[in-house]
Structure 1
Amino acid sequence: MTSSILVTGGTGTLGGHVVPLLRAAGHDVRILSRNARPAADGIDHVTGDLLKGEGVEAALDGAETVLHLAGGPKGDDEATRNLVRAASRAGVRHLVHISVIGADRVPLAWMRTKLESERAVADSGIPWTTLRAAQFHDLALTMVEKMAKLPVFPVPGGLRLQPVDSREVAARLVELTLGAPSGLVPDLTGPHVHGLADLARPYLRLRGRRRPMLPVRIPGKAGRAYRAGANLTLQGAEEGKRTWEEFLAERLGQGA
C-alpha cells in the first residue's frame, strides 16, 4: 500500500465517491469526521472538528496528502485556516481543495467564505491544487424538490445553472490528488446550462405533477451577479458528460 491520504468531509456526498476510488488506487485513507466510526477496509476514521480545531493534528499524523472536501453553511474559511495551519506543521506535501464556481464573483456571504478558504490554501506555503466545480446534480435536485412542494413553482429570472455529476467531480479530484500540485485548475461544469424551469420540467414530469411557474426576481447585488452569469464558466472549463436528465432517470428510477 502507498502512503495514507487524509480526506476531510469523507462521509459526505462527494466523499462517498472519492474514498472508494482512492482505495481502488491502492491508498490507505483516513477520514476526519465529527462522529466516531470504526476502521474498516483500509479506511481509518479520526474524530475531530475543523471549525474548533479539535483532532486535526492527530488526523494529519503521517499523512503526506490532504484532500479537503469538508464544508458547511458557514465557517468554511475558519475551518480551512485551522486545517492549513495544522497541515503546515505536519509537513503535508500536497493539499487538494474543492471550491465552487463563482466564489470570486458572486457577492454572497457563503461564497466569500469559499473564496477565503481558497486564499488560505494558496497562501499556506504547502504545494496545493484547487478545483472549482459547479453545483452538483444532487444539490440541484434538492432545490427542485423543495420548490415543487409549493403550490406555485418560483422561477428566478436570469438564474442559470451548470449542474455536474458528483461522481465526475470525484473522479477528477482523485486524479488531481494522485498527481502533482497544480494550483488553480480549470473549472469543472456539467455539459449544459439550464434555467431553473428547465431543471423543473423533467422532474415534474417524472413525478407526475403539474405546477404553474411564477417568475420572480432575485434582489440586490446577488441578483445582478446571477443574471450576469457570475456563477457560470462558459469558456475554458472542463465539462462532465452526465446530463441532468440522465441523473434524474437514474435517481427517480424512470426514463426521462
Structure 2
Amino acid sequence: MATILVTGGTGTLGRLVTERLRADGHEVRVLSRRSPEHPVDLRVGGPALDAAVAGVSAIVHCASTQRGGDERSARHLLDAARRAGVPHLVYISIVGVDQVPLGYYRTKFAVERMIEGSGVGWTILRTTQFHDLLVRVFRGLAKLPVVFVPAGVPDQPVEVAEVAERLAELAAGAPVGRVADMGGPEVQTLADLARAYLRATGRKRPVVGVRLFGKTYREFRAGGHLAPEQAVGKGTFEDYLRARGGGSR
C-alpha cells in the first residue's frame, strides 16, 4: 500500500480522509499546525515540511483557511513536492470558484491554477458546500429573534464523509486532472435549509429573505456554486441533522 500525506489532517475533512485511507491499508502522514506527528505551518514551510513530504506517493491537500495565506501555503507545498519528486497531488476545491467573485473562491481558483502549472501530477475535485458549514452559519444567525438569509439563494450541501471517501479513492490512483464535480443530493433555498435547522434544534424563529446587491450575490442567486448535474451525494441536510441531533445545536 501507499504512503500518503494529508495536509490539514486534523481538520473536519482531513481527519476523515486520514481515517478512510488508513482503513484501506495505506500509511498516512498527518500534517497540520496541531499534528503531533508533523506539526507544520504551510505558510512558513521549511525543513519540517520537506521531511513530511519525503518518500510519499501522494499528497491530499485539505489545508485551507479563509483568513488568508492559502496561495503561499500551496507554493511551499508544491516546491517541497517537486524537490521530493512526489508524483501526485490531490486538491479539494469548491464548485463555482471560477464564477463566483468571492474573495475566498478567487483564492481557491488561484491555487488550482498554481497546481495545474506546477509540474507535479495533479487531481482536482470541486464539491459543493459541506453540511457542517451551513450548521455553523445557521447557529450564528439563530442567536437573533429573526433569522435573516440572502433571498433567493439556493444551495446543494454535501456530506463531508462522502467527499473524504472520494478523495481517498483519488489519492490511491494516478493523477487524472480535473475530475467531475461532486454535489449533494438536493438543491434547496437557504431559507428552506434554515427552517430545517430550526426544526431540528427546536427553535422557533421566522426566516426572512433579504435581497442583497453586487455580482457575488447575483452569481449565488444564479446557482454558480451548484452542480445539479452532479448530484451524486446521498446524505441530505436533514439526514445530517438527524444523525447529529440537530448539528449539535
TM-score of the superposed pair, with normalisation by structure 2: 0.94
Whole-Å Cα distance in 2 between the matches of residues 204 and 35 of structure 1?
33
Whole-Å Cα distance in 1 between the matches of residues 198 and 2 of structure 2?
47
Deviations 1:46-90 (A, max 9, x none): 121111123321111111211100000122122112111110111
Q: Is the 8 A contact 1:77 1:113 kept in 2?
A: yes
* 1:238 positional shift: 5.0
Runs of 4 or more consecutive aligned structure 1 residues displaced over 3 Å after TM superposition: none
Deviations 1:95-151 (A, max 9, x none): 100001111011011111100111111111111100001100111111111111111
Whole-Å Cα distance in 2 between the matches of residues 253 and 110 of structure 1?
28
Whole-Å Cα distance in 2 between the matches of residues 90 and 84 of structure 1?
10
Q: How many residues align?
A: 245
Change (3 A) 1:234 1:200: same
Change (3 A) 1:113 1:26: same
Whole-Å Cα distance in 2 between the matches of residues 113 and 140 of structure 1?
21
- The answer to whether residue 129 in structure 2 is matched with residue 130 in structure 1 is no
One of 106, 130, 149 as aligned partner of 2:100: 106
Counterpart of 1:216 in structure 2: which amino acid? V
Whole-Å Cα distance in 2 between the matches of residues 233 and 189 of structure 1?
5
* 1:20 positional shift: 1.3
Whole-Å Cα distance in 1 between the matches of residues 112 and 196 of structure 2?
35
One of 220, 239, 242 as aligned partner of 1:246: 239
**Which stretches in structure 1 are left out of the alignment for 5+ residues?**
38-44
Whole-Å Cα distance in 2 between the matches of residues 157 and 244 of structure 1?
19
Give matches, 1:63-212, under 5 Å.
Answer: 63-73=56-66, 74-212=68-206
**Which stretches in structure 2 are left out of the alignment for 5+ residues?**
none
Q: Is the 8 A contact 1:186 1:238 kept in 2?
A: no
